[in-house]
Amino acid sequence: MEWSIETRELRRTFRDRPVRRLFRRAVGTPIPDKIALDSVNVTVRPGELFGLLGPNGAGKTTLIKILSTLLLPSSGQATVDGIDVAKDPDSVRQRINMVSGGEHSGYGILTVRETIWMFSQFYGVPTKVARQRAEAMIQRLGLSDSADTKTSKLSTGMRQKMNIIRGFVSDPKILFLDEPTLGLDVGIAREVRAFICEWIKEHPERTVLLTTHYMAEADSMCDRVAIIDQGRVLACDTPANLKRDLAPDCVYRIEVPLWTEAVNPLDQMPVVRSVAMEHRGDQGRTHLRVILEEEGGIASVTDRLAKRGARVLSMTRLEPSLEDAFLSLVGHGLTSSNGENGAR
Ligand SMILES: Nc1ncnc2c1ncn2[C@@H]1O[C@H](COP(=O)(O)OP(=O)(O)O)[C@@H](O)[C@H]1O
Ligand SMILES: [Mg+2]
């Protein structure tokens, strides 16, 4: 199969900043290179919406920069549409476009419409086609009222919508989106995500690689997700398979009256892998999040609670989430995965 994107043993290291290097040399401490990507092997099929999910500093932007020819790999190989990014960057550039979250692109004196127009011309889009595409996308993303506003006057959300249009206006074969909803309000983030998903549905032969540190964004949008941490890809599969294979599947939330004793009511039970307690003093209740070794263990858990005088007020079996899968794989969560911008 001809992959849309393929990396083989891709590695990228960064040297420390010159001042720090000088200082460290003077002090006599070794100066290891920072490994941003380590033996990364990723394959993306044509037509896929592929997600790179990882915490800050995982190496997502570095990978996107290499694939979009802004940065060279230290070793290993990367191809985009079958073309080696290091050997023939010009041919790669003709097939791609890239949008980053939180970027301040645009020239303040130009309006939204003018900016999009200018970028479409950088990409050599024929005049009539560029106009039609730009207008359709301006309408779809609700930018019509701001289309003649200077970009320096735009809110963050409006600016990001304009950046998104700038990325899509060249109708690229492969599109890189680096944290496209970073820092956006819930509503605008939802609009941007819906726009991306609709575009890929209407252009089933196009490929989108997006990075995110929002769990639900990866879960709800992507056909497949690579979980990346500290420069390494730890798992790569559909969100459903990642949840099935990696997330503990016997997770219950049990509510009992406020548990004030020091000893955990479920301590030393072999069927219980872990239990987290959260006391809700205001409600007079304690929430237990119980992960079982096996499904059958739930009966002995309720027995034990009854014996210890912790009457079960409610019990819910929780669906495994991508976050559970991530936690069990990486060993720590994504710090900003809670309160994320409404991906569900
Ligand atoms: N230009 C650079 N110089 C030195 N270190 C860098 C540079 N760019 C990235 N890094 C380091 O590489 C690692 C990966 O960074 P990055 O790819 O930006 O991660 P992410 O996008 O997942 O947050 C981080 O530890 C970061 O500090
Ligand atoms: Mg980044």
* Structure tokens given for 315: 């019990």
Q: Whose CA is nearest to atom 2 of ligand 1?
A: 14
Provide φ and ψ at 326, rounded to 5°: -60, -45
| Nearest ligand, CA 100 | 2
Ligand 1 atom with minimal separation from the 15 CA? 4
pLDDT at residue 341 is higher than 70: no
Q: Name residues contacting ligand 1 (CB within 6 A).
A: 14, 34, 36, 54, 56-62
pTM listed for this prediction: 0.83
Cα(325) to centroid of ligand 2, in Å?
22
Cα(47) to centroid of ligand 2, in Å?
24
- What confidence tens digit (pLDDT) does each residue in 189-238 have? 999 999 999 999 999 999 999 999 888 899 999 999 999 999 999 999 99
How much is the pLDDT for 244? 85
Ligand 1 atom with minimal separation from the 12 CA? 12
How much is the pLDDT for 178? 96
How much is the pLDDT for 340? 43
Neighbours of ion ligand 2 (CB under 5 A): 60-61
- What confidence tens digit (pLDDT) does each residue in 26-70 have? 877 777 789 999 999 999 999 999 999 999 999 999 999 999 999
Ligand 1 atom with minimal separation from the 55 CA? 22
Sort residue 281 into left (φ over 0), alpha (ψ -120 to 50) or beta.
alpha
Summary mean pLDDT of the chain: 90
Mean pLDDT value of segment 71-80: 98
Please provide the CATH number assigned to the domain covering 51-61+84-243. Answer: 3.40.50.300
Q: Does domain 248-319 have CATH number 3.30.67?
A: no
- What confidence tens digit (pLDDT) does each residue in 125-183 have? 999 999 999 999 999 999 999 999 999 889 999 999 999 999 999 999 999 999 999 98
Pick from 7, 11, 14 the residue to mutate for probing ligand 1's pocket: most ligand atoms within 8 Å of its CB: 14
- Calpha distance 295→230 (Å, rounded): 34
How much is the pLDDT for 338? 36
Angle, CA of 222, 225 and 230, to the nearest 5°: 140
Q: Would you list the domain boundaries of the chain?
A: 51-61+84-243, 248-319
Q: For the chain, how far is it from start to end, CA to CA, in angstroms?
A: 33
